[in-house]
Structure 1
Amino acid sequence: MQLELILDQPGLTISYDHDNEWLYVNWQGAHDPVSSRQCCLAMLEVMRRRPTAKILNDNSNITSTTVKLTEWSLSWLQDMYEAGLRYLAWIYAPVFPGRNSTEAIVQYLERPTVASFDDVATAFNWLRRQSSTVPRQ
């Protein structure tokens, strides 16, 4: 797997996976609503500079989080869609108190398609099966 590092900041690393033609977003450490929003905005900036149809969004290295999906989160997902994102494979943090409410919302999202997973391997395999066409802007 050939990863090209694009962004490395506290709590977040974003790389481009050349073999799979997607962004690999690795969240680390503790996150609260403020840090999560900052990281999401960083993801959006990367997407605008380097559009890709797929993101493997790995939260398995998060040690604690108080994050919940909000109206802002849904607006951010729409911005990500407009930047080219079509499929987001979201690997949950090991301890995620907002999981039930998040899953209730995620199942109704249409654009982009968001699927949630408990492990990287299952998310990886799901994402590989999705079409990788990046829409032209």
Structure 2
Amino acid sequence: MNLRLLHAGPYLTTYYDSHNDWLYADWQGELTLPAAQAASLDFVRCYLHHSYPRVLNSNALVTSVSWDVTPWLAQEVLPAMEFAGVQQLAWVCAPALRGRHMAQEIANRLPHMSLTLFSDLEEAVAWLQRTRADCSSGCARPPRRPTIQAQMETAFQRLTHQVTAQQFEAKNTISY
């Protein structure tokens, strides 16, 4: 892999692999809903001005996942990825059984995306490389139509507003 760093955060490091022409998302740590939301915003931001039809998503370093992360990802982030043009997603599951269950639940909610689950990174890389489209005539992706770009920016702003509001509400909720 020939990786160019796009974003580094406490829970997610995102790279562009120019050799394989895919986005590589490397998640780590304990994913609570606020952590997953903040990291997901950074991930989705990568799609605002560039199209990445293929994604290598690794949860190999994830130590735990909060119960509320899966429904939020499935409802908010993964549909945005489909809208952004992601066609293939190789998902390396977290070693814990719950991590694999989470990934399978998300895969079941995305019938139009080619999403395959893997136990290790090498298998996922091999699958994405085997399924790579023929690039003999060049792999340049056409720019997005202005209407699609505007819709993506609006969707990103909505997601950002939603996450900000939820995190503000969570900070200001008093428990008795």
TM-score (norm 1): 0.85
The residue correspondences of 1:3-42 to structure 2 (distance < 5 A) are: 3-42=3-42
Task: Give the helix-richer structure, 1 or 2.
Answer: 2
Mark the structure with the bigger radius of gyration.
2
Structure 1 residue 119 corresponds to structure 2 residue 120: yes
Tell me what 2:50 maps to: 50
Q: Structure 1 residues 16, 101: CA separation in 2 closer, same or farther (over 3 Å shift)? A: closer
Q: Post-superposition shift, 1:97? A: 1.6
Give CA deviations for 1:30-77 in whole Å, capped at 9, x if unaligned.
Answer: 111221122122111112222111110011011222255216523421
**CA distance in 2: counterparts of 1:71 and 1:135, whole angstroms:** 31
> One-letter code of the match for 1:65?
V
Q: Cα RMSD (Å) of the superposition?
A: 2.2
Instruction: State the AA in 2 paired with 1:80.
Output: M
Identity value in percent: 30
Runs of 4+ in 1 over 6 A off after TM superposition: none
The unaligned stretches of length 5 or more in structure 2 are 134-138, 145-176
- Verify the 8 A CA contact 2:25 2:58 in the aligned structure 1: yes
Size of the alignment, in residue pairs?
Answer: 137
Q: Deviations over 1:5-39 (max 9, x none)?
A: 11011111101101000011111111112211221
Mapping of residues 57-96 of structure 1, within 5 Å: 57-67=57-67, 68-70=69-71, 72-96=73-97
More strand by share: 1
Q: Which gives a bigger RCO, structure 1 or 2 (Cα 8 Å, sep 6+)?
A: 1
**Within 2, Cα distance between the matches of 1:108 and 1:73?**
7
**1:109 shift after superposition:** 2.1
